């Protein structure tokens, strides 16, 4: 069966950066920096902090900017006594399309478990948004030769309850933890091998159509200077970009490179 073409997705994860005013400024510069044809070939999402979502949404809508709104986290319940949390419905009402789930910083610094990640993935789908589910190994796990087991285990734990349609629509971000914010990135061959193992697990568990359609991003110190080689790998369908996404020109360049 011919593999359907997967449209790359480049996502800017701003983390805890940008007030709502700075965020508006950034997306305006980003939209000027994009080339007219980029959106036909590449999907782009920006993930501001919660406090900037409404402002960014208003500007994206008013100016019809060619990018989707994303969030960095969500709670799995729809409402209730969960002080400080944000629900899937709240995000969906702001036209959020993509929600990052299980980022390694949430897992490591805020105690997010595979079980919580699975609930969040299901809740994002239930609210008709798309999860970007993150998986990744530590340096110790890589050095012990346990990378694939670790990331495939995280993938399976986070997605066991999904149906094949949801599996096909899911975005997985492979982010080696040792490569995040460190300036060190996986070699394109290493990243490809892990992304291929993730796709093989989806093929085996959920069928050929889901395996062929699932988009897998690479993340971890992606910048314009290394994006082309990573994005050229057959199982890498985009990038989750942290630090470099705070520079609109750099992010636009990564989008442009994803076209080729
Ligand atoms: P980085 O972050 O690009 O700054 O390494 C990536 C991420 O954490 O999503």
pTM attached to this predicted model: 0.97
The reply to whether 207 falls in a domain is: yes
Report the number of distinct structural domains present in the chain: 1
Helix residue ranges per DSSP H, the chain: 20-33, 38-41, 50-63, 88-93, 104-109, 114-126, 139-143, 147-159, 164-169, 188-206, 208-213, 224-231, 248-259
Ligand 1 within 6 A of CB of 130: no
The reply to whether 11 falls in a domain is: no
Residue with tokens 């002080």: 83
Ligand 1 within 6 A of CB of 254: no
The reply to whether 1 falls in a domain is: no
Residue with tokens 């919660």: 50
| Substitution site in 108, 226, 243, 250 for ligand 1 pocket (most atoms within 8 Å of beta carbon) | 243
The reply to whether 35 falls in a domain is: yes
Segments forming the whole domain that contains residue 197? 18-259
CATH number of the structural domain spanning residue 98: 3.20.20.70
Digit-by-digit pLDDT tens for the chain (260 residues) are 445 579 999 999 999 999 999 999 999 999 999 999 999 999 999 999 999 999 999 999 999 999 999 999 999 999 999 999 999 999 999 999 999 999 999 999 999 999 999 999 999 999 999 999 999 999 999 999 999 999 999 999 999 999 999 999 999 999 999 999 898 888 999 999 999 999 999 999 999 999 999 999 999 999 999 999 999 999 999 999 999 999 999 999 999 999 97
The reply to whether 102 falls in a domain is: yes
The reply to whether 141 falls in a domain is: yes
Active site residue 165: no
Gap from CA of 181 to ligand 1 centroid (Å): 5
| Substitution site in 222, 224, 238 for ligand 1 pocket (most atoms within 8 Å of beta carbon) | 222
The reply to whether 6 falls in a domain is: no
The reply to whether 37 falls in a domain is: yes
Residue 61 zone, left/alpha/beta (φ > 0; ψ -120 to 50; rest): alpha
Ligand 1 within 6 A of CB of 245: no
């Amino acid at each position: 069966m011919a593999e359907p073409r997967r449209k790359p997705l480049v996502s800017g994860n701003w983390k805890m950066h940008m007030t709502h005013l700075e965020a508006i400024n950034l997306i305006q510069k980003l939209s000027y920096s994009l080339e007219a044809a980029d959106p036909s070939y590449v999907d782009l999402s920006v993930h501001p902090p919660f406090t900037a979502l409404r402002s960014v949404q208003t500007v994206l809508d008013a100016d019809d900017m060619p990018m989707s709104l994303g969030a960095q986290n969500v709670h799995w319940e729809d409402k209730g006594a969960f002080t400080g949390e944000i629900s899937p419905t709240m995000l969906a009402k702001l036209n959020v399309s993509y929600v990052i789930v299980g980022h390694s910083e949430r897992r490591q610094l805020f105690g997010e478990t595979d079980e919580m990640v699975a609930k969040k993935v299901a809740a994002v789908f239930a609210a008709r948004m798309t999860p970007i589910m993150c998986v990744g190994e530590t340096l110790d796990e890589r050095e012990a030769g346990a990378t694939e087991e670790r990331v495939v285990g995280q993938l399976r734990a986070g997605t066991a309850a999904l149906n094949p349609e949801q599996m096909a629509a899911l975005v997985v971000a492979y982010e080696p933890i040792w490569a995040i914010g460190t300036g060190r990135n996986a070699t394109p061959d290493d990243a490809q091998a892990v992304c291929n193992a993730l796709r093989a697990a989806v093929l085996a568990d959920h069928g050929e159509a889901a395996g062929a359609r699932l988009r897998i991003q690479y993340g971890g110190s992606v910048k314009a200077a290394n994006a082309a080689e990573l994005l050229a790998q057959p199982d890498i369908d985009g990038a989750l970009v942290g630090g470099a996404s705070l520079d609109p020109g750099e992010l636009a360049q990564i989008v442009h490179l994803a076209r080729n």
